[in-house]
């Protein structure tokens, strides 16, 4: 395997913010499992934080995309009573 093949970016499946929150909740549950070693629970807690961050970023991206989409849509004339005459 060449260096180029090792560092080639592979397409990733993107998850929705809701899915990221769901994964974070699962990691939170594992982080609270007292039957696991402390260092493992700490790793799970960090992963939960990471997935919550990804969820928040995803929500922001969705909000921006929605705002852009709404900006492109024609806006109703607030002065509809003043119709343009042709």
4 inside domain: no
Collapse the DSSP code of 79 into the 3-class scheme (helix H, G, I; strand E, B; otherwise coil) and give the result. coil
Q: Is residue 65 part of a domain?
A: yes
Is position 64 within any domain?
yes
> Residue 60: inside a domain, yes or no?
yes
Domain for residue 48, yes or no? yes
Number of domains making up the chain: 1
For residue 48, count CB atoms less than 10 angstroms from its CB and return exposed for 0-12, middle for 13-18, buried for 19 or more.
buried
Q: What is the pLDDT of residues 6-32, one digit of tens each?
A: 566 667 778 999 999 999 999 999 999
pTM of the model: 0.67
Range of the domain at 53: 39-71
Q: What is the pLDDT of residues 24-72, one digit of tens each?
A: 999 999 999 999 999 999 999 999 999 999 999 999 999 998 888 877 7
């Amino acid at each position: 395997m060449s260096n180029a093949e090792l560092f080639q970016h592979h397409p990733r499946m993107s998850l929705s913010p809701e899915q990221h929150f769901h994964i974070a909740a699962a990691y939170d549950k594992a982080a609270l499992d007292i039957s696991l070693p402390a260092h493992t629970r700490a790793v799970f807690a960090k992963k939960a934080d990471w997935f919550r961050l990804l969820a928040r970023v995803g929500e922001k991206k969705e909000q921006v995309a929605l705002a852009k989409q709404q900006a492109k849509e024609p806006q109703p004339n607030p002065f509809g009573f003043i119709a343009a005459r042709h």
